[in-house]
Amino acid sequence: MNPVERLMASIDPILIAPYRMFEDPMLGWWFGTTVLAFWAVLVGELTLAVVYRINRKPMAANWNKTMYYHEQSLKAKQAGDEDAYKGINKLANEAYGKSFFLFIAMGMATLWPAFFAAAWLNLRFADFLFKLPGWAGGLELNFVTPFVVLYIAFRIFFSKIKHFIPFLNRSVQSPQ
* Residue-range domain boundaries for the chain: 3-172
pLDDT of residue 170: 62
For residue 71, the one-letter residue type is: E
| pLDDT tens track for 162-173 | 888 776 666 545
DSSP element (H, E) containing 131: strand 130-131
Distance CA 169, CA 163 (A): 4
Give the per-residue pLDDT at 122. Answer: 92
Query: What count of Cα atoms within 13 Å lies in the side-chain half-sphere of residue 110?
Result: 22
Q: Which residues contact 22 (CB under 8 A, 6 or more apart)?
A: 28, 31
pLDDT digits (tens, 9 = 90+) for 17-64: 999 999 999 899 999 999 999 999 999 999 988 888 888 888 888 888
Mean pLDDT for the stretch of residues 77-86: 86
Q: What is the pLDDT of residues 83-100, one digit of tens each?
A: 888 888 888 888 888 888
Mean pLDDT of all residues in the chain?
86
Percent of the chain with pLDDT over 70: 91
pLDDT at 174 exceeding the cut of 50:
no
pLDDT tens-digit map of 106-128? 888 899 999 999 999 999 998 88
Position 176 pLDDT exceeds 60: no
Residue 126: CB atoms within 10 A of its CB come to 10
Do residues 100 and 175 make contact, with C-beta atoms less than 8 angstroms apart?
no
